[in-house]
């Protein structure tokens, strides 16, 4: 599922009118950082072994967690 990016950038231009920098709100910046952290975690864990939901529940029950 693709989530739309909701940015409202403001551009800083040089004397020629070329864009040289961008300003976004702190909220937008923090949301982008969170997305980057999430994507990094996903990439880091990409090759980890997986456990089925059924097996996971069995492990929780045997540990007394559930």
What is the model's pLDDT at position 59? 95
Query: In angstroms, rounded to a whole number, what is the distance separating the alpha carbons of residues 3 and 64?
Result: 38
The residue segments making up the domain with residue 26 are: 1-46
Domain total in the chain? 1
Q: Could you tell me if residue 57 is inside a domain?
A: no
Q: Could you tell me if residue 64 is inside a domain?
A: no
Residue whose pair of structure tokens reads 């709100």 in the numeric block: 25
Question: Cβ atoms within 10 A of the Cβ of 28, count?
Answer: 15
- The pLDDT tens digits along the chain (66 residues) read 456 678 999 999 999 999 999 999 999 999 999 999 999 999 999 999 999 999 999 999 999 988
**Can you give the pTM of this predicted structure?**
0.62
């Amino acid at each position: 599922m693709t989530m739309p990016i909701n940015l409202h950038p403001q551009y800083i231009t040089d004397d020629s009118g070329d864009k040289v920098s961008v300003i976004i709100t702190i909220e937008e910046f923090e949301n982008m950082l969170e997305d980057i952290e999430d994507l990094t975690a996903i990439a880091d864990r990409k090759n980890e072994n997986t456990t089925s939901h059924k097996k996971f529940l069995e492990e929780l029950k045997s540990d007394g967690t559930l």
